[in-house]
Chains A and B, each alone.
Chain A
Amino acid sequence: MMSGGPKAKNIPGSFRDPSGFLFCSEGVVFRQINISYQQEYDIFMKSGLYANLVNERLLVSHEEVDLPGPVPGTSYKVIKPDQVPFISYPYEWCFSQLKDAALLTLEVQKRSLLCGMSLKDCSAYNVQFKDGKPVFIDTLSFEPYREGEPWVAYRQFCQHFLAPLALMSRRDIRLSQLLRIYLDGIPLDLASSLLPVRTRFDLSLLMHIHLHAKAQRYYSHKTAVIRKGGVTRPAFMGLIDNLESAIQKLRWEPSGTEWCDYEQDTNYSPAGLEHKKQIVSKFLDRVNPKVLWDLGANTGVFSRLAGSKNIHVLSFDFDAAAVEKNYLTSLQGNALRCLPLLLDVSNPSPGTGWENRERMSLIERGPADTVLALALIHHLALSHNLPFDRIADFFHKIGNWLIIEFVPKDDSQVQRMLAPRKDIFLNYTQEEFERAFGVLFIIHKKAEITDTKRILYLMEKK
Chain B
Amino acid sequence: MSMRRGFFWIIAIAVFVCSVGFVRTAYAYIDPGTGSYIFQILIVGVIGGLCAVKIFWAKIVLFVKRLFPGKRP
Contacts and interface: CB of A to CB of B under 8 A. Distances in A.
A67 interface: no
B44 A216 contact: no
Contact of B44 (A200, A220, A231): A231
Contact of B38 (A187, A213, A226): A226
Interface in A226-254: 226-227, 230-231, 234-236, 238-239, 241-242
A242 B47 contact: yes
A189 B40 contact: no
A220 B34 contact: yes
A354 interface: no
B41 A193 contact: no
Given A193-B25, A220-B26, A215 B44 contact: no
B54 to A, nearest CB: 10
B49 to A, nearest CB: 9
Contact size class for B? 20 to 34
Contact of A234 (B37, B40, B41, B48): B48
Interface in B17-32: 17-18, 20-26, 30-32
A214 to B, nearest CB: 5
Contacts, number: 108
Given A201-B17, A206-B17, A215 B38 contact: yes
A391 interface: no
Nearest to A212: B39
Please report whether the interface of chain A is mostly helix, strand, loop or mixed according to DSSP: helix
Interface in A163-177: none
Interface string A184-227: 00011110110000001101001100111111111110001011
A150 interface: yes
Contacts of A219: 34-35, 38-39
A109 B57 CA distance: 27
A211 B47 CA distance: 14
A151 interface: yes
A149 to B, nearest CB: 9
Interface string A357-393: 0000000000000000000000000000000000000
A227 B40 CA distance: 12
A212 B48 CA distance: 17
B36 interface: yes
A239 B38 CA distance: 14
Given A200-B18, A224-B38, 12 more contacts: A150-B40, A189-B25, A190-B25, A200-B21, A207-B46, A215-B39, A216-B32, A217-B35, A219-B38, A220-B31, A226-B41, A234-B48
11 contacts: A152-B37, A189-B25, A206-B21, A207-B43, A211-B39, A215-B42, A216-B35, A219-B38, A231-B44, A235-B45, A242-B47
